[in-house]
Chain A
């Protein structure tokens, strides 16, 4: 897989269904009720249940690894900042641009967003190419 500075990586688009946060909770072990219990989420001032930030980081990791050809070994480092809250039943788009390629390693700037709401910002992925 050839990646050059300035290249956009293929966009990853997915719409987590209503029960996705329950399945992610089971898969990850993170049962924080703000992700799975609407009554609890509203009681602590949220509009509704929110997606796990680490789920969206997982999608970011998947997009970066797929850009490098899909071998999970190719992802060497990923750093993200969690900002806006993610909502179930809304499409997530992960996009990115290759910042630099040096010594067989590409650095990719990645963003995950739902519409204008950037849920993962300033993400930086390093992949072997």
Chain B
């Protein structure tokens, strides 16, 4: 058996996520981050943010919904029972703040087989309501025994 590569270059419909103040606080809290810019509007504004700002890794919250249809696409054909998240990269631009509407597009950039494992690489591109890039993600998913 070998991996299918037809999905390389495929892009899936964008998803939009509206960032909420309490969701930011919940996410920052679970990571143990105490900086008031994630909880308090006045503190965020005093620090130069438009509103309460999300921790950088909140990128997984607003970009993951765009990854779901990509991962479950039969054209990609991943075996979920044997899949692990092998690696992740984010590059950040404009901070994500409460009230932002962030639109994310996912694209498959590479599928390769190596040592009996399938390496599936996806990119997500997230932009806010002003057209500013908020984050770019590279997701490496590994499927054993392809």
Contacts and interface: CB of A to CB of B under 8 A. Distances in A.
Interface stretch (B6-14, B25-33, B114-122): B25-33
Interface in B1-58: 23, 26-27, 29-33, 35, 37-38, 47, 53-57
Contact of B88 (A30, A57, A65): A57
A66 to B, nearest CB: 9
B32 A76 contact: no
A129 to B, nearest CB: 16
Interface residues of A, number: 31
Nearest to B53: A72
Contact of B31 (A30, A55, A77, A81): A55
Contact of A70 (B30, B35, B86, B92): B35
A88 interface: no
Interface stretch (A1-9, A19-27, A101-109, A110-118): A19-27
B23 to A, nearest CB: 8
B91 interface: yes
Contact of A28 (B38, B60, B84, B86): B60
A20 to B, nearest CB: 7
A61 B23 CA distance: 18
A54 B57 contact: yes
A44 B81 contact: yes
Interface residues of B, number: 33
A104 to B, nearest CB: 16
A58 B138 CA distance: 15
Nearest to A61: B57
Interface in A64-101: 65, 70-73, 75-82
Contacts of B74: none
Contact of A24 (B30, B53, B81, B90): B30
A41 interface: no
Given A62-B32, A72-B37, A72-B95, A54 B26 contact: no
Given A27-B29, A28-B61, A75-B56, 13 more contacts: A23-B30, A54-B85, A54-B88, A58-B31, A72-B55, A72-B56, A73-B95, A76-B92, A77-B90, A78-B56, A79-B87, A80-B87, A82-B86
Interface of A: 14, 20, 23-24, 26-30, 44, 53-55, 57-59, 61-62, 65, 70-73, 75-82
Return the 8 tightest CB-CB contacts between A and B, nearest first: A79-B89, A58-B57, A27-B30, A27-B27, A58-B31, A77-B91, A81-B87, A61-B57
